[in-house]
């Protein structure tokens, strides 16, 4: 497939799945723009690809507006920026709750709202959610609540745009082999005394295939949603989880 002549904006594009998405879309000819809060990782991803980057925080309305102004009209908008924290609900502070909703849900809302307003016609809006948006996991209630909200946002917006050449979908991977999972492993080690290998195996065990999902699997799904033959896929939450769901 080719996406030559199409521009894609990927939030959280400096690391993990976002960085792989940037590489995957650049490989098929798309004009890639990535955004994030830290210049160094954004630059490290963008420069080898000939892509552009914008330093921005998706939880800030003004930053999101500035991102699209700098990027120019985008045909494909991928709301990938996210963060995760773990704690028993009884220990979650209001600030922690608000922070999880801000980046994982409000950030998607702001990105989609601005992205939809500037679509030149044909368009794809894709949220990188999580299996936590389709089921519950202990000790990550704020994160799971935000991801459930993202799936609801996707399903509702998909109905609003269904009469035009725009689709809205969520990709819901299980535990990814990325820096975010590395941080989860470190948290498990610190709180339980397990080794890093035991902690990683415990996360992989949630997948019936007994492995972590690779970022390239998310990228392949996103590319499929932007290619021919995907026009009828709208309002879906596509799990990449080895049969967990």
143 assigned to active site: yes
> What are the residue ranges of helices labelled H in 50-178?
61-71, 94-101, 107-118, 141-161
From the candidates 143, 150, 185, 204, give the one annotated as an active-site residue.
143
The answer to whether 238 and 221 have CB atoms below 8 angstroms apart is yes
Enzyme catalytic residues:
143
């Amino acid at each position: 497939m080719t996406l030559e002549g199409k521009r894609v904006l990927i939030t959280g594009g400096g690391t993990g799945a976002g960085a792989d998405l940037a590489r995957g879309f650049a490989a098929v000819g798309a004009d890639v723009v990535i955004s994030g809060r830290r210049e160094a990782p954004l630059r490290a991803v963008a420069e080898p690809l000939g892509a552009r980057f914008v330093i921005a925080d998706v939880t800030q309305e003004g930053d999101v507006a500035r991102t699209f102004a700098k990027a120019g009209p985008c045909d494909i908008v991928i709301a990938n920026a996210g963060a995760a924290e773990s704690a028993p609900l009884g220990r979650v502070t209001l600030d922690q709750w608000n922070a999880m909703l801000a980046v994982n849900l409000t950030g998607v809302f702001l990105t989609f709202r601005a992205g939809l307003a500037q679509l030149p016609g044909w368009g794809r809006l894709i949220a990188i959610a999580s299996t936590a948006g389709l089921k519950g996991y202990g000790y990550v209630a704020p994160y799971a609540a935000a991801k459930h909200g993202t799936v609801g946002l996707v399903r509702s917006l998909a109905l609003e745009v269904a009469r035009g050449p725009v689709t809205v979908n969520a990709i819901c991977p299980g535990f990814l082999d990325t820096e975010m999972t590395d941080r989860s492993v470190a948290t498990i080690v610190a709180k339980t005394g397990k080794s890093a290998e035991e902690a990683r195996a415990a996360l992989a065990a949630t997948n019936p295939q007994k492995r972590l999902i690779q970022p390239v699997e998310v990228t392949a799904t996103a590319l499929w949603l932007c290619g021919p033959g995907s026009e009828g896929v709208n309002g879906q939450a596509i799990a990449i989880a080895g049969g967990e769901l």
